[in-house]
């Protein structure tokens, strides 16, 4: 029987963004710009390019700018029209016009697992994608599209994987399992292990295709590392049932959840822009030695 189509993507954007304070005091970290587009828009565009029809935003109080990003901006659009800047107008409308957006509030930041569970009423009983705006991925085929293709063969849960430097395992969910070509049959998952306890250096990054059964598991998942309900812990139970696979996807991932990662991503993307690259190269070349 062919597997169901994945219509919906959950975008959890309710985290506190403490690593970007004080900027994130009243600007959601997902709205911080990567060159001239919010990180959120890169991730939403990736989902849309992979055929996702509905975004489910899990947001929090104070993060109204996230929802507003997808709403029409009549004053701005009218002004741009008057100025004859239809190019900018298209840019403003591009992603939002192609996708339905619904929102659910996570009233307390109780962890990524809890954020995903909060989306349950809007997702219902169907497989769904999850994308984290903390990971911006530049690739020929959208990363979530690569995962969906792999998932169509396997069903269950499909997670995006990347090898990370062994000393960085404590920043990720780390997998154990067997790898064949670019696929891993995941047998175990641990959240942010210290290098000495990490079962491998294969890390889960912020793209997932999940079966609806994960909601029941999340309901039963107690707070884990950092007192938060961890998606990794629910996935570890699924992995124990042989229902998790991973894809070592093709693409370049930037960790936009930290100031240094956002700076790195900004430099990389700006250096690929013909309008910015020459000026930026000059600035970099002229930086005083420190």
List residues near ligand UTP by CB under 6 A: 12-19, 58, 106, 109-112, 114-115, 132-134, 257
Q: Are 206 and 135 in contact (CB under 8 A)?
A: yes
Q: Are 204 and 169 in contact (CB under 8 A)?
A: no
**Residue whose CB is less far from ligand UTP, 59 or 146:** 59
- Least distance from ligand UTP to the Cβ atom of residue 118, Å: 8
Would you state the structure tokens that stand for residue 221, as one six-digit string? 């998942």
**Residue whose CB is less far from ligand UTP, 46 or 134:** 134
Would you state the structure tokens that stand for residue 107, as one six-digit string? 């009233």
- Least distance from ligand UTP to the Cβ atom of residue 106, Å: 5
- Least distance from ligand UTP to the Cβ atom of residue 217, Å: 17
- Least distance from ligand UTP to the Cβ atom of residue 289, Å: 31
Would you state the structure tokens that stand for residue 91, as one six-digit string? 């840019």
**Residue whose CB is less far from ligand UTP, 51 or 223:** 223
Q: Which residue is nearest to ligand UTP (CB)?
A: 15
Q: Are 195 and 174 in contact (CB under 8 A)?
A: no
Instruction: Compute the distance between CA of residue 115 and CA of residue 129 in angstroms, rounded to an integer.
Output: 13
Q: Tell me the residue ranges of DSSP E strands in the chain.
A: 8-12, 33-34, 37-38, 54-59, 100-105, 128-131, 135-138, 157-163, 173-180, 183-191, 202-210, 244-248, 252-255
- Least distance from ligand UTP to the Cβ atom of residue 36, Å: 21
**Residue whose CB is less far from ligand UTP, 44 or 132:** 132
Instruction: Compute the distance between CA of residue 271 and CA of residue 80 in angstroms, rounded to an integer.
Output: 28
- Least distance from ligand UTP to the Cβ atom of residue 74, Å: 29
First vs last Cα of the chain: how many Å apart? 62
3-class secondary-structure state, position 231: helix
- Least distance from ligand UTP to the Cβ atom of residue 26, Å: 14
**Residue whose CB is less far from ligand UTP, 107 or 181:** 107
**Residue whose CB is less far from ligand UTP, 93 or 192:** 192
**Residue whose CB is less far from ligand UTP, 34 or 89:** 34
CA 179 to chain centre: 24
- Please return the burial class of 53, using the count of CB atoms within 10 Å of its CB with bins 0-12, 13-18 and 19+: middle
**Residue whose CB is less far from ligand UTP, 148 or 191:** 191
Instruction: Compute the distance between CA of residue 83 and CA of residue 286 in angstroms, rounded to an integer.
Output: 36
- Least distance from ligand UTP to the Cβ atom of residue 119, Å: 10
């Amino acid at each position: 029987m062919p597997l169901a189509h994945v219509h919906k993507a959950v975008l959890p954007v309710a985290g506190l963004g403490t690593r970007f304070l004080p900027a994130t005091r009243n600007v959601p970290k997902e709205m911080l710009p990567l060159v001239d587009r919010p990180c959120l828009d890169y991730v939403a565009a990736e989902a849309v390019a992979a055929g996702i029809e509905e975004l489910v935003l899990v947001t929090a109080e104070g993060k109204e700018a996230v929802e507003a990003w997808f709403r029409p901006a009549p004053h701005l659009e009218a002004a741009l029209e008057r100025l004859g800047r239809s190019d900018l107008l298209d840019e403003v409308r591009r992603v939002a016009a192609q996708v339905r957006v619904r929102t659910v509030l996570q009233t307390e930041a109780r962890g990524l697992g809890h954020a995903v569970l909060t989306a349950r009423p809007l997702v219902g009983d169907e497989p769904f994608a999850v994308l984290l705006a903390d990971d911006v991925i530049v690739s020929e085929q959208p990363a979530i599209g690569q995962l969906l293709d792999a998932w169509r063969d396997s069903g269950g849960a499909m997670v995006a994987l990347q090898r990370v430097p062994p000393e960085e395992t404590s920043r990720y969910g780390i997998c154990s399992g067997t790898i064949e070509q670019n696929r891993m049959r995941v047998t175990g998952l641990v959240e942010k292990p210290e290098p000495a306890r990490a079962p491998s250096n294969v890390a889960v990054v912020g793209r997932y295709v999940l079966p609806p059964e994960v909601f029941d598991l999340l309901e039963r998942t107690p707070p884990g590392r950092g007192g938060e309900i961890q998606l990794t812990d629910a996935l570890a139970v699924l992995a124990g049932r042989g229902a998790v696979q991973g894809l070592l996807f093709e693409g370049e991932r930037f960790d936009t959840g930290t100031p240094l990662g956002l700076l790195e991503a900004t430099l990389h993307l700006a250096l690929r822009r013909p309008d910015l690259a020459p000026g930026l190269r000059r600035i970099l070349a002229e930086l005083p030695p420190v």
